[in-house]
Amino acid sequence: MANLKEVRNRITSVSSTQQITKAMKMVSAAKLKHTTNAILQLRPYANKLRDILADVSASVEGSNSPFTVDREPNKVLIVVVSSNRGLAGAFNANVIKTTNNLIFIKYAEQHAKGNLSIIGIGKKGYDFYSKRNFNVVANHSDLFSDLNFGSVSVVTEFIMEQFKEGNFDRVEVVYNQFKNAAVQELTAEQI
């Protein structure tokens, strides 16, 4: 049977662990609140930008822009947006599952011909497809560590240039759209 001193030491140890856990919980709650506020403040700008782009694309439908021409999807690019870390529940698994459905069902013919390429934004998606010998044309796993307009512009300019040159006829993006801290809506959309 443990003596009194050992019991007191154990009680002290448990209460120290409780204090550390409580402090970690408070720090993570503050980080989550900060990140949630940042995302929610950007949402009106993103919605307005989407509206502007829709208006612009509607006004140039008769033009000769390579971005408004509807092409047969012979060469497809899928942009996979995942996280850099694991332990995120189904966050990454759902992105990969949806991407696999695009690859093996919607674009099975292009995949069989070798005309399907992938850009990985986030380490988990990039690692998954590069380890399975898919045609991964770019890795932007570091994008989230320094997320700013310049770093995102590099990715979008690459995609636009490749599309204009005819290297891709269709571009699809698979990502989780933030709804709230507990819910992210999986989205796959053609751009």
Given a contact cutoff of 8 angstroms between Cβ atoms, the answer to whether 80 and 116 are in contact is no
Question: Quick one: tokens of 128?
Answer: 């998954």
**Rounded Cα gap, residues 183 and 61, in angstroms:** 36
**Rounded Cα gap, residues 172 and 81, in angstroms:** 11
How many residues comprise the chain? 191
3-state class (DSSP) for residue 31: helix
> What band does 24 get if pLDDT is binned at 50, 70 and 90?
very high
List CB contacts of 79: < 8 A, sequence separation 6 or more: 118, 119, 121, 159, 171, 172, 173, 174
**Rounded Cα gap, residues 158 and 176, in angstroms:** 22
What radius of gyration, in Å, describes the C-alpha atoms of the chain? 23
**Rounded Cα gap, residues 186 and 178, in angstroms:** 9
**Rounded Cα gap, residues 44 and 34, in angstroms:** 17
Which pLDDT score, from 0 to 100, does residue 139 have?
Answer: 86
- Which tens digits make up the pLDDT trace of 127-157? 999 999 888 888 888 877 777 777 788 888 8
Q: What CATH class is the domain 76-190?
A: alpha beta
- Which tens digits make up the pLDDT trace of 28-42? 888 878 877 777 777
Q: What is the pLDDT averaged over residues 23-31? A: 89
Give the residue among 96, 84, 107 at the shortest CA–CA distance from 190.
107
Which pLDDT score, from 0 to 100, does residue 57 have?
Answer: 65
Which pLDDT score, from 0 to 100, does residue 20 have?
Answer: 92
**48 burial level (CB within 10 Å; 0-12, 13-18, 19+):** exposed
- Which tens digits make up the pLDDT trace of 60-117? 666 666 666 677 888 999 999 888 877 777 788 889 999 999 999 998 898 889 889 9
Give me the residue spans of the domains in the chain.
1-59, 76-190
**pTM reported for the whole predicted model:** 0.72
Which pLDDT score, from 0 to 100, does residue 62 have?
Answer: 61
